[in-house]
Amino acid sequence: MTTVTFRRSTDTVSSVAAARTPVQSRNAVRPSPAPGDALRSLGPNWFAVVMGTGIVANSAATLPLQFPGLRAAATVVWALAALLLVVLSVAWVAHWRRYPEIARSHGAHPVMMQFYGAPPMALLTVGAGTLVLGSDVIGMPAAVAIDWVLWSVGTALGLLAACAIPFRMMTRHNFDADAAFGGWLMPVVPPMVSAATGALLIPHIPAGQPRMTMLFLCLAMFGLSLIAAIATITVIWSRLLHHGLPAAGMVATVWLVLGPLGQSVTAAGQLANVAPTALPDRESAGLDVFALIFGVPTWGFALLWLSLAIAVTYHTRKTMPFNMTWWGFTFPLGTCVTGSTVLYTHTGANIFAITAVALFTLLLTAWALVALHTLRGIYHGTLFHPAP
């Protein structure tokens, strides 16, 4: 067994961001590489683009404030996310064929391997959007069929990542106390996304044991992801308190903590919504109560973390180089939008509706900013070269 020691994470993560994560140089513009060479720097972290784009569409579809044109715009964004998923999937397969050693090294790298949670979440996000928005375009039967495929593959890959990546961390690497960062959550969050998006499929399953089985599978994935996330968030909180902020290039990963928080609130609420179709009245009523007892306190902590993340980002704004970790501003924030929306549908309390709309406005701003920087980096070729 090969053991790799990961020490002094503030410096190491910075160097990793330069060596493994495509980073845009602030002072230099490099020529665009040939299409084949562009694949060299492709990693699983690129699927965060699909996640961030897809969550904009999904959160818009259920936003408490609906106005003419919003659903049509959300459908266009969903189509864009679906197209990005196809393009990146093809490119990733080509990357594995052309650069197998680099591709395999991602799975062994203490930072890059965390982002193997991104591909399954990209599949799940686009699948949910297909059911919620794509059904208007391709019809409900086709949308359900596509979502089943994407949900099944995404769930299988997500469960594999949730088990394999922590196992590799335990057996292949030694981490110092200051090594923890928000990316550690990426492998354990996909089952929570499966639980939230799987709830949308439950009404399309035959009643009785099949529907009940699906509900309990989603609840089990909710639990395994939640407990793993709580343990990891505790370590990240401790790391920030005892060792300070991460390197400037990794500050955006602080926002990743919002992902399991917002998604767990969303999952609890959506599973409670469909529970009456799968469980007896008493059990389904219990899930409805749990959605509030769990959801509201978790929502409160998510807002606290959001405030801290905004403060940390503002504190380091002048030294933050653009890189692909900036997509961490989008998907986690989007889960807080959907979580607030779910709480509004369960309570009718305007505070949740107002928060959902405010967070969606922030999400749109973040997505536009990060997308613009990404397009600029692709156009100039800087995202395909490690920074000097």
Local confidence band at 380 (pLDDT 50, 70, 90 cut-offs): confident
Element (H, E) at 174: strand 173-175
Q: Of how many residues is the chain composed?
A: 388
The proportion of the chain whose per-residue pLDDT surpasses 90, expressed as a percent, equals 82
CATH entry 3.40.50.720 includes domain 27-384: no
Alpha helices in the chain (DSSP H): 9-19, 35-38, 48-61, 70-98, 100-108, 118-129, 135-138, 140-172, 190-201, 209-243, 258-274, 281-315, 331-347, 350-380
pLDDT band with cut points at 50, 70 and 90 for residue 18:
very low
Q: Looking at the predicted structure, is the pLDDT value of residue 33 above 70?
A: no
Number of Cβ atoms within 10 Å of the Cβ of 245: 14
User: In which band, very low, low, confident or very high, does the pLDDT at 385 lie, cut at 50, 70 and 90?
Assistant: low
pLDDT at 277 over 70: yes
pLDDT digits (tens, 9 = 90+) for 316-327: 999 999 999 999
Q: Taking the domains of the chain in order of start, what are their residue ranges?
A: 27-384
The SS3 of residue 4 is strand
Asked if 1 contacts 173 with a C-beta cutoff of 8 angstroms, the reply is no
Residue 323 forms beta bridges with which residues? 23
Q: pLDDT tens-digit profile of 175-198?
A: 888 899 999 999 999 999 999 999
Tell me what the mean pLDDT of segment 93-120 comes to.
93
pLDDT at 381: 79
- CA distances 357 to 120, 269, 351, 352, Å, are 27, 18, 10, 9
Q: What is the mean pLDDT of the chain?
A: 90
Model confidence over 34-54: pLDDT tens digits?
555 678 889 999 999 999 999
The pLDDT of residue 304 is above 90: yes
Q: How confident is the model at residue 382 (pLDDT cuts 50, 70, 90)?
A: confident
pLDDT, mean of residues 201-226: 97
Query: 261 falls in which pLDDT band (50, 70, 90)?
Result: very high
Name which residue leads in pLDDT, 33 or 232: 232
* pLDDT, position 258: 98
- Using the predicted structure, report yes or no on whether residue 122 has a pLDDT greater than 70: yes
| Distance between CA atoms of residues 246 and 239, nearest Å | 9
Model pLDDT, residue 36: 54
Segment 225-231 shows an average pLDDT of 97
pLDDT at 387 over 50: no
